[in-house]
């Protein structure tokens, strides 16, 4: 079954064809990120106008790359929510129209649940196709993106239950705000990740609210600690790399601890991680290490599939259909 999926919830416009819910035949992503960078964040009005310009182009490319035409499409999938309404409406209108014209089913997908699913996708012709058998459900899902930090209990791919979430900023949002404090540009995640790797010993430590006894997260106090540190040390100067590293250590520690604890508490031995922050090199290394020590299988998406993409939408739609 070939599903043509669309993702247009924010500044990416993406179309993808996924075969049988797993094999990514194409995944084309256009982004308006550059148009927003000078403002230090996404401008919804600009994002939705770019969606309109890109959607036809990415659709044509996704079909060409997959070697298919519209008549080979068995179903159409689209991100329903959450996201910026002006951006969402472009993908949704496009997908609804296409489904109507082709007389094929339309599957509406939740963007956050799709991020969790991304770790299940395989590249075209990739060898580890039997992963699905090896990677048993139920699983715990951790989504850490620019808008969300949530823990899910996944009984099967049509049943996601949130049991933990951020009480204030999302993890990616904290990265972006700290990058703004340090004058590192937008988005903050990749540059903080890179600077952080340059630090071996660090005397700076920032606290991250543990919210003991809950599965929730809180990152806004950590961000404020970074702000106060930079203000206090503005005159004498400080190492941007060390501040970035201390901030990242604090975020990664709490994400690793809470997601492993959640697996143990739920007696679940599969952990799926998704969202932009899942591209973080320290998080990938530490979580893999910590999960392996407790016999938990952890699965991260490939780096491009951590970011917003339509393959995760088309893949999850297969199970929903």
- Which listed residue (27, 48, 99, 145) binds Zn ion by CB under 5 A? 145
- Which listed residue (175, 247, 300, 318) binds ligand KG4 by CB under 6 A? 175
* Sequence-ordered alpha helix ranges (H) in 118-202: 131-134, 171-181, 189-196
Give DSSP secondary structure letters for 98-116.
HHHHHT--EEEEEHHHHHH
d(CA 25, CA 295): 32
- Closest distance to ligand KG4 from the beta carbon of 39 (Å): 15
- Which listed residue (5, 141, 187, 315) binds ligand KG4 by CB under 6 A? 187
- Closest distance to Zn ion from the beta carbon of 301 (Å): 11
Give the burial class of 201: count Cβ atoms within 10 A of its Cβ; 0-12 exposed, 13-18 middle, 19 or more buried. exposed
Which of Zn ion, ligand KG4, none sits in contact with 189, Cβ below 5 to 8 A by type? ligand KG4
- Which listed residue (21, 276, 301, 315) binds ligand KG4 by CB under 6 A? 276
The stretch near ligand KG4 (CB under 6 A) out of 63-71, 233-241, 276-284, 311-319 is 276-284
- Which listed residue (145, 149, 150, 218) binds ligand KG4 by CB under 6 A? 145
- Closest distance to Zn ion from the beta carbon of 311 (Å): 13
- Closest distance to ligand KG4 from the beta carbon of 156 (Å): 23
Q: Does 308 bind ligand KG4 (CB under 6 A)?
A: yes
- Closest distance to Zn ion from the beta carbon of 36 (Å): 15
Which of Zn ion, ligand KG4, none sits in contact with 315, Cβ below 5 to 8 A by type? none
Tokens describing residue 106: 């339309």
Angle between helices 281-293 and 240-266 (to 10 degrees): 30
Q: Does 275 bind ligand KG4 (CB under 6 A)?
A: yes
Tokens describing residue 116: 């969790």
What does each C-alpha distance from 85 to 80, 82, 297 come to in angstroms?
10, 8, 36
Given 3-state DSSP classes, what are the helix, strand and coil percentages for the chain, each rounded to the nearest 5? 50, 20, 30
Q: Does 147 bind ligand KG4 (CB under 6 A)?
A: yes
Give the burial class of 305: count Cβ atoms within 10 A of its Cβ; 0-12 exposed, 13-18 middle, 19 or more buried. buried
Nearer to Zn ion, 117 or 135 (CB): 117
Residues in a beta bridge with 144: 149
The stretch near Zn ion (CB under 5 A) out of 40-48, 143-151, 178-186, 218-226 is 143-151
Count CB neighbours of 293 within 10 A.
9
Residues in a beta bridge with 4: 17, 76
Is residue 229 within 8 Å of residue 204, measured between CB atoms? yes
Which of Zn ion, ligand KG4, none sits in contact with 14, Cβ below 5 to 8 A by type? none
- Which listed residue (308, 311, 316, 317) binds Zn ion by CB under 5 A? 308
Q: Does 146 bind ligand KG4 (CB under 6 A)?
A: yes
Which letter does DSSP use for residue 198 in this model? T
Q: Does 172 bind ligand KG4 (CB under 6 A)?
A: yes
Give DSSP secondary structure letters for 4-67.
EEEE-SSSEEEEEEEETTTEEEEEEEEE-HHHHHTTTS--HHHHHHHHHHHHHHHHHHHHHHHT
The stretch near ligand KG4 (CB under 6 A) out of 17-25, 150-158, 200-208, 273-281 is 273-281
Is residue 66 within 8 Å of residue 25, measured between CB atoms? yes
The stretch near ligand KG4 (CB under 6 A) out of 18-26, 145-153, 232-240, 310-318 is 145-153
Residues in contact with ligand KG4 by CB under 6 A are 145-147, 172, 175-176, 187-190, 193, 275-277, 279-280, 307-308
């Amino acid at each position: 079954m070939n599903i043509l999926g669309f993702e247009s919830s924010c500044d990416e416009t993406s179309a993808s064809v996924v075969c049988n819910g797993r094999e990514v035949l194409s995944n084309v992503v256009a982004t308006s990120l550059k148009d927003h960078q000078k403002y230090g964040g996404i401008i919804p009005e600009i994002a939705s106008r770019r969606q309109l310009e890109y959607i036809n182009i990415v659709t044509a490319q996704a079909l060409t790359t997959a070697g298919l035409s519209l008549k080979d499409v068995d179903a159409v999938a689209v991100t329903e929510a959450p996201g910026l309404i002006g951006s969402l409406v472009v993908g949704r209108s496009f997908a609804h129209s296409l489904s109507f014209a082709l007389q094929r089913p339309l599957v509406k997908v939740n963007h956050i649940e799709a991020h969790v699913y991304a770790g299940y996708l395989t590249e075209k012709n990739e060898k580890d196709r039997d992963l699905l058998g090896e990677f048993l459900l139920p699983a715990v899902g951790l989504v850490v993106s620019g808008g969300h930090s949530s823990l899910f209990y996944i009984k099967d791919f049509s049943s996601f239950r949130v049991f933990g979430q951020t009480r204030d900023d999302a993890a990616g949002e904290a990265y972006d705000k700290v990058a703004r404090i340090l004058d590192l540009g937008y988005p903050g995640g990749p540059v903080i990740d890179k600077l952080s790797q340059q630090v071996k010993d660090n005397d700076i430590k920032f606290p991250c609210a543990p919210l003991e006894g809950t599965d929730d997260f809180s990152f806004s106090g950590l961000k404020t600690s970074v702000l106060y540190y930079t203000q206090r040390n503005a005159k004498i100067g400080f190492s941007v790399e060390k501040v970035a590293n201390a901030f990242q250590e604090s975020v990664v520690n709490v994400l690793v601890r809470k997601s492993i604890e959640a697996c143990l508490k739920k007696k679940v031995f599969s952990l799926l991680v998704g969202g932009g922050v899942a591209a973080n090199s320290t998080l990938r290394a530490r979580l893999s290490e910590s999960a392996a020590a407790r016999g938990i299988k952890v699965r991260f998406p490939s780096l491009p599939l951590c970011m917003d993409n339509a393959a995760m939408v088309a893949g999850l739609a297969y199970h929903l259909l």
